[in-house]
Amino acid sequence: MANKIPVGVLGATGAVGQKFVKLLENHPWFEITELAASDRSAGKPYKDATAWRQSTPIPDALKEHVVKPCAPGLDSHVVFSGLDSSVAGEVEENFARAGYIVVSNSKNHRMDEDVPLLVPEINPDHLDLIKTQRARRGWSGAIVTDPNCSTIGLVLPLAPLDRAFGVKRVIVTTMQALSGAGYPGHSAVDMIDNIIPFIGGEEDKLETEPRKILGRLEGDQIRFAECQISAHTNRVFVEDGHTECVSVELDKKPSLAEVARALADFTSLPQELKLPFAPARPILVTTDRDRPQPRFDRDAGNGMSAVVGRLRECPVFDIRFVVLSHNTVRGAAGAAILNAELMKVRGDLD
Ligand SMILES: NC(=O)c1ccc[n+]([C@@H]2O[C@H](COP(=O)([O-])OP(=O)(O)OC[C@H]3O[C@@H](n4cnc5c(N)ncnc54)[C@H](OP(=O)(O)O)[C@@H]3O)[C@@H](O)[C@H]2O)c1
């Protein structure tokens, strides 16, 4: 454990918080030393405060760890946040103001002008906004966010397509897993034999977040990408893994083979730096005619790769495909861990 960076987890008892605890066990650079949650959990041993629902046991070192309240005063300088969005906004600001580096999953600060909405493969330079954030807000700490769990599956393939061919217009229809609603989430009675064609706030996120991520940092602000996105979001009876059907209009008119190559060959800074959570390939392209499927493909690249399949021409736009990504790994805790790894290498955690 010598020389690892001590980190805290805010919202450690929730679905995303548990994923941080699971994924950070044995991380080569980070070690969880503090767990924090609401007053309902503070003061209890972690094993009693959380309804653990991961496929591996609670790490021995954390079972008896006493949960702390979510207030500055933690010893760790770096905190991962899986806080409920009803409280994340204010709590994360309190931490950043007090000098902590907050690596967040919550929606509250994603669209703030001076907060990086980071996907390390796509917009690592947006981390330079930390300087602006500190200057404007007078903070010694900082907040860095990762995208919504359905945004990440869309923006990973859009990024290489935009670079190579220019993305003009997108229509996306999602089939989103139950775990995206936290635990206990929807009742089984509501979900069996059913699809719920509404996820509050989700379509707006899917239509705006990719435009910030694909945007260009110009001085101290981001010029949003000009593409237009129309989103339909649905909750389906799948445990983990968001599936999205995507049609894209491009500026250039590449062949399907050129599109497939642009997706499959896409690698970036995290792969060059060999960051521990960086998948060898951010996008895996399958030619199997009935894949990707959540049950079989969500763990690709340890849950950090998006799987693209059913790539074909679109009679209305130019191309269409299906993409699958793991919503609580690449869409939540794993994304924040990759963000923190890039920040460590750049010196943003100091
Ligand atoms: N689930 C996903 O796939 C996913 C993906 C991307 C982003 N997110 C975002 O990540 C965040 C967490 O989602 P989740 O699914 O993990 O939710 P969750 O299971 O409901 O967990 C929420 C966490 O927030 C804590 N909390 C609630 N009220 C609090 C308060 N007043 N003060 C301090 N802590 C409080 C809870 O602690 P107690 O147990 O003590 O109540 C719990 O640890 C949300 O903002 C969500 O939008 C989720």
What residue's CA is closest to ligand 1, atom 1? 180
Check residue 182 and give its pLDDT.
86
Check residue 184 and give its pLDDT.
85
- Ligand 1: atom nearest CA of 183 is 19
Is any atom of ligand 1 closer than 6 Å to the C-beta of 38?
yes
- Please check whether residue 151 is in contact with residue 231, taking contact to mean a CB–CB distance below 8 angstroms: no
**149-165 and 202-213 are packed helices; what angle lies between their axes, rounded to 10 degrees?**
40
Q: Write the pLDDT tens digit of every residue in 90-108.
A: 999 999 999 999 999 999 9
Q: Write the pLDDT tens digit of every residue in 183-200.
A: 888 999 999 999 999 999
Instruction: Give the CA distances from residue 100 to residues 34, 49, 287, in Å, rounded to whole numbers and listed in that order.
Output: 13, 24, 45
Across the range 279-293, mean pLDDT stands at 98
- Please check whether residue 332 is in contact with residue 255, taking contact to mean a CB–CB distance below 8 angstroms: no
Question: Which amino acids are annotated catalytic?
Answer: 149, 242
Mutate to test the pocket of ligand 1, among 16, 102, 108, 204 (most ligand atoms within 8 A of CB): 16
Whether the pLDDT of residue 346 is over 70: the answer is yes
Distance (angstroms) between ligand 1 centre and the Cα of 168 equals 35
Is any atom of ligand 1 closer than 6 Å to the C-beta of 41?
yes
Is any atom of ligand 1 closer than 6 Å to the C-beta of 151?
no
Distance (angstroms) between ligand 1 centre and the Cα of 82 equals 5
Q: Write the pLDDT tens digit of every residue in 205-254.
A: 999 999 999 999 999 999 999 999 999 999 999 999 999 999 999 999 99
Whether the pLDDT of residue 1 is over 70: the answer is no
Q: Write the pLDDT tens digit of every residue in 116-144.
A: 999 999 999 999 999 999 999 999 999 99
What residue's CA is closest to ligand 1, atom 33? 38
- Please check whether residue 246 is in contact with residue 259, taking contact to mean a CB–CB distance below 8 angstroms: no
- Please check whether residue 118 is in contact with residue 127, taking contact to mean a CB–CB distance below 8 angstroms: yes
Instruction: Give the CA distances from residue 226 to residues 170, 212, 263, in Å, rounded to whole numbers and listed in that order.
Output: 11, 10, 21
Is any atom of ligand 1 closer than 6 Å to the C-beta of 107?
yes
Across the range 293-297, mean pLDDT stands at 98
Distance (angstroms) between ligand 1 centre and the Cα of 182 equals 7
Output the average pLDDT for the chain: 97
- Please check whether residue 312 is in contact with residue 285, taking contact to mean a CB–CB distance below 8 angstroms: no
- Ligand 1: atom nearest CA of 83 is 24
Is any atom of ligand 1 closer than 6 Å to the C-beta of 160?
no
Residue where the block lists tokens 């947006």:
126
Distance (angstroms) between ligand 1 centre and the Cα of 106 equals 8
Check residue 2 and give its pLDDT.
61
What residue's CA is closest to ligand 1, atom 30? 38
Check residue 183 and give its pLDDT.
82
Is any atom of ligand 1 closer than 6 Å to the C-beta of 87?
yes
Check residue 79 and give its pLDDT.
98
Is any atom of ligand 1 closer than 6 Å to the C-beta of 176?
no
Is any atom of ligand 1 closer than 6 Å to the C-beta of 23?
no
pTM listed for this prediction = 0.97
Distance (angstroms) between ligand 1 centre and the Cα of 64 equals 21
- Ligand 1: atom nearest CA of 15 is 16
Whether the pLDDT of residue 277 is over 60: the answer is yes
Calculate the CA 302 to chain-centre distance.
14
- The pairing of beta strand 228-232 with beta strand 167-175: parallel
Q: Which residues contact 170 (CB under 8 A, 6 or more apart)?
A: 154, 158, 210, 227, 228, 229, 230, 246, 247, 248, 249
Is any atom of ligand 1 closer than 6 Å to the C-beta of 161?
no
**256-264 and 149-165 are packed helices; what angle lies between their axes, rounded to 10 degrees?**
120
